[in-house]
């Protein structure tokens, strides 16, 4: 039964509502129209309806820990304040043992996933990245290694001379079980030129995930929105991801990432509005009909808006994280992590059922 209660007189919106309720796929034009519409409540109710159809009232989270082996990076993306040059004040490159020492100081017994990303450090060989995972895998064999972005994998092919498949196979031998979603930004080569994204281009980003899926690996994928891109760019991004998901069925979740300013002192006009964040989550849910989950990333949009997003199509609130660094280096004002108890409270407060999961959305515990 439809949950829509908002009156709608616009014929285009009425046609989209009919499509969604009949399980028909939305088009580029539909997606751009939704972005241009000011009818946030109808868009949100539609997304909520789709999510309830897929997941009921269950909302997922994981006890995980974000790790960053190095912030030295050859790329100079216009939106990044995490990267450093080799030798610059604040730059670092940790050995496997140094990372283990850090983990031992901060880990708690429930952590079941390491979320590992970092800079494209050309001053160390590919073997460094392999050995980094191997050291963690040996010390923590029961913790899933979700590591590296597609852009990092592409970078590894350049410093190693190996193919995408060979790089992934070497990392899998070291313990890699899933790829993170980062490095997508906006899947437009024109956008990448404007934003000085010199890492993996659109085709390479998609090819890395395609290859990982062909090797039997499930992966994550993102979209970084809120800078120079158009609404059409955002929808085209979703359509390219949707097309690959049709082909491989290898993505676990889509994560819209709200762009952060470079300064924590930036005013509200330099940040995405709550309206834009909710609309993007809802539209993602409506466009990506072949994805089970849309994630609300509290690191970028805050805990309270994450809670509201659970009525706008989101079915995942990420995880405990412990200490996030990349978004906070770029000006995020949100908590760097949340506890398991806080995540359960947040989900229950939205009238939903918290479900602790593993990396692959296997249910660990349901909190009725």
Whether 96 contacts 147, CB under 8 Å? no
Question: In degrees rounded to 5, what are phi and psi of residue 75?
Answer: -80, 155
Would you say the C-alpha torsion 22, 26, 29, 35 has a positive or negative sign?
Answer: positive
Distance CA 255, CA 271 (A): 18
Distance CA 266, CA 275 (A): 18
| Angstrom distances, CA of residue 207 to CA of 186, 201, 204, 357 | 15, 10, 5, 28
Whether 226 contacts 259, CB under 8 Å? yes
pTM score of the predicted model? 0.92
Tokens matching residue 338: 């949340």
Q: Tell me, what's the pLDDT at 196?
A: 84
State the greatest distance between any 2 C-alpha atoms of the chain, in Å, as a whole number. Answer: 63
Pairing of strands 251-258, 218-225: parallel
* 216 contacts: CB under 8 Å, gap ≥ 6: none
Distance CA 264, CA 333 (A): 7
Can you list the residues of the chain whose pLDDT is less than 50?
Answer: 1, 324-334, 336
The burial class, CB within 10 Å (0-12 / 13-18 / 19+), for 129 is: buried
Partner residues linked to 62 by β-bridges? 319
3-state secondary structure of 361: coil
Whether 148 contacts 101, CB under 8 Å? no
> 196: which DSSP letter?
T
Tokens matching residue 172: 């899998």
Other C-beta atoms within 10 Å of 28: how many?
14
């Amino acid at each position: 039964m439809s949950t829509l209660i908002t009156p709608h007189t616009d014929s285009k919106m009425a046609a989209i509502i009919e499509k969604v309720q009949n399980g028909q796929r939305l088009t580029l034009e539909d997606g751009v129209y939704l972005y241009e519409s000011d009818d946030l409540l109808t868009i949100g109710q539609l997304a909520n309806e789709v999510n309830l159809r897929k997941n009921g009232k269950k909302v997922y989270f994981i006890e995980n820990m974000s790790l960053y082996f190095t912030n030295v990076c050859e790329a100079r993306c216009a939106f990044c304040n995490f990267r450093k040059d080799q030798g610059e004040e604040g730059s670092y490159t940790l050995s496997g043992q140094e990372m283990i020492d850090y983990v031992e100081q901060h880990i708690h017994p429930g952590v079941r996933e390491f979320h590992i990303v970092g800079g494209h450090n050309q001053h160390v060989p590919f073997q460094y990245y392999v050995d980094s995972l191997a050291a963690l895998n040996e010390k923590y064999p029961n913790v899933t290694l979700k590591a590296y972005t597609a852009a990092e994998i592409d970078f590894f092919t350049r410093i190693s001379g190996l193919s995408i498949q060979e790089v992934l196979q070497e990392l899998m031998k070291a313990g890699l079980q899933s790829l993170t979603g980062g490095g997508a930004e906006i899947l437009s080569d024109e956008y990448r030129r404007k934003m000085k994204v010199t890492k993996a281009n659109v085709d390479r980003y998609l090819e890395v995930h395609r290859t990982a899926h062909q090797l039997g690996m499930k992966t994550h994928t993102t979209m970084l929105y809120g800078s120079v891109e158009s609404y059409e760019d955002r929808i085209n991004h979703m359509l390219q991801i949707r097309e690959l998901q049709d082909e491989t069925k290898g993505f676990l979740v889509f994560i819209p990432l709200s762009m952060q300013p470079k300064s924590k002192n930036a005013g509200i006009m330099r940040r995405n509005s709550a309206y834009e964040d909710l609309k993007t989550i809802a539209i993602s849910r409506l466009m990506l009909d072949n994805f089970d989950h849309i994630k609300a990333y509290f690191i970028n949009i805050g805990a309270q808006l994450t809670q509201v997003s659970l009525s706008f199509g989101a079915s995942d609130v990420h995880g405990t994280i412990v200490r996030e660094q990349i978004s906070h280096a770029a000006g995020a004002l949100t908590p760097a992590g949340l506890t398991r108890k806080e995540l359960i409270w947040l989900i229950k407060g939205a009238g939903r059922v918290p479900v602790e999961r593993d990396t692959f959305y296997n249910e660990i515990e349901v909190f009725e």
